Amino acid sequence: MSQPDFDAIDRLRRHDPLSGRAETPEMSNEALASRVYGRIDFSDELTVARWPLRRSLRSRRAWILVPVFILGSLLLTAAVISRTRHADDPTQVACYSAVDLSSNTVVLPMESSPIATCKEAWEDPANPALFGGVLTPRLAACVLESGVAAVFPADGVDPCQTLGLASWERADSNADLGQRFQANLIERTKNKCIEPQLFAEIAQEELDRAKMDDWSVAVAPAFEPSRICGSLHIEWPEKTVVVVPFEKPDDWIDWP
Amino acid sequence: MWAARAGGRKGLVSDSTDDGDAVSRARTRAEFDALYKLHFARVRDFIERRVHVDDLEDVLAEVFTVAWRRRLSLPSDAKIQAAWLYKVARFTLLNWQRQDRRKRDLWDRIANEAATASPVETTASRPELFENALVEAAFYSLSPADQEIVGLAAWEGCTSDELALILECSPGAARTRLSRAHERLRVAMLRGSS
């Protein structure tokens, strides 16, 4: 028995649920976009108030600016000479498809190393559009100007040298310290709904325990009263732990 | 503990064309504002097709908040950005629907309105209503996964590459899934009209 030939998707397309949408001034795209924009939570942007337990460095900035500048210049010189550098942000890596900063890019959370992380992306069949489905080449890790690790193909070339970037080197002891701090804090707070100010105190305790004296804690404002639990966000370049309020998931326990 | 992780596990494709530093570019509010202006209407349509209009504003605010928090993985190519936002919207919608059982989707509303709006009219006198009810019944008879993929193809006009990005599978798998769902929709429509 032959069945009538028609395109079911096309028929569905002609019955778009939005076809009967009422156009009112209140629901115009412009009005709605404006209202929604006002409700977006930008709290992890670094404009949040500083946690008062630790005195901000801001007031002392003028006093330390000159020595920091001199120290920075020395470090920059050292980096240029040594051509190696550790990433300021140990949490992510940018994988490039060619020795070209404008080539296709994918940004991934850092795993054991930048190359191991990006190798996985090259071998992922879901990413053929990114890397053209070709065999994984030899890879090399560099550090971008922004301090983020970046991995490039390195068949026959030194991508770091070609692009004028420093080669990546394993995180220094301070970064290891930061990762241990993060693991300890997550261990203490996971699956618990901890009030944000209390969360900040716990974060400060962990910073003190790790002797990370130049780090600070900030609490982002809660835009909704229902956001009663603190969660962890780390701004590595700013050396700031930001406590972000969010709604309590059903399976989390109240604490203490 | 979402905030302890930067970006999604899989990451997203970017086809950079300007300064090449996708990482630093995606961090700024200006970049996000440009994304918002460019794609708001598209994301609004996506959400509005799938939730009750009363919830539209809440869900949109949540989607763009999540997009802001995941901005490190924001692709620079505008077409891929749209698929990336659909993916963010899809996850937000799933969470939203899980958290609040009272949420009804738009198909419910259409069904209720169709049932109450014109009680004296019959489908025989309104062929377009009959067609609408037939298409609706056929769509609703599909599994949620089939509904999702044919909805994305029909209403958002997604290609198989974009479906792959949104549904986190390979383009080949997306094509196969769409083809099977398409055929099931077709059979359901035929069954409804016979």
Of B1, B18, B21, the CB nearest to A146: B21
Q: How far is B40 from chain A (nearest CA, A)?
A: 7
Chain A residues inside the 8 Å CB shell of B134: none
Q: Which residue has the higher pLDDT, B181 or A110?
A: B181
Residues 66-95 of B with CB under 8 A from A: 68-69, 72-73
Q: What's the pLDDT score for residue B23?
A: 39
pTM score, whole prediction = 0.46
Residue of chain A whose Cα is closest to the Cα of B155: A13
User: What DSSP line would sit under B134-157, residue for residue?
Assistant: HHHHHHHTS-HHHHHHHHHHHTS-
Q: What's the pLDDT score for residue B13?
A: 34
- Contact between A193 and A252 under an 8 Å Cβ cutoff? The reply is yes
Chain B residues inside the 8 Å CB shell of A32: 40, 44, 56-57, 60
- Contact between A220 and A245 under an 8 Å Cβ cutoff? The reply is yes
Can you tell me the distance from the alpha carbon of B157 to that of B143, in angstroms, rounded to the nearest whole number?
Answer: 20
CA dihedral B178, B183, B189, B190 (to 10 degrees): 170
What is the H or E stretch that residue A31 is in? helix A29-39
Chain B residues inside the 8 Å CB shell of A121: 11
Which segment of A7-21, A122-136, A187-201, B166-180 scores lowest on mean pLDDT?
A122-136
- pLDDT tens by residue, B86-117: 998 988 888 777 665 444 444 454 445 444 44
Put simply, whether B117 touches A (Cβ < 8 Å) is no
Of B17, B23, B37, the CB nearest to A148: B23
Interface test with B, best of A2, A12, A26 (most B CBs within 10 A): A12
- pLDDT tens by residue, A5-31: 788 999 999 888 888 777 788 888 888
| pLDDT class of B61 with cuts at 50, 70, 90 | very high
Chain A residues inside the 8 Å CB shell of B107: 17
- Characterize A97-128 residue by residue with b for buried, 16 or more Cβ atoms within 10 angstroms of its Cβ, and e for exposed: bebebbbbbbbbbbeebbbebbbebbebebbb
Burial classification of residue B54, based on how many CB atoms lie within 10 Å of its CB (0-12 exposed, 13-18 middle, 19 or more buried): exposed
ipTM, two decimals: 0.70
Q: How far is A93 from chain B (nearest CA, A)?
A: 9
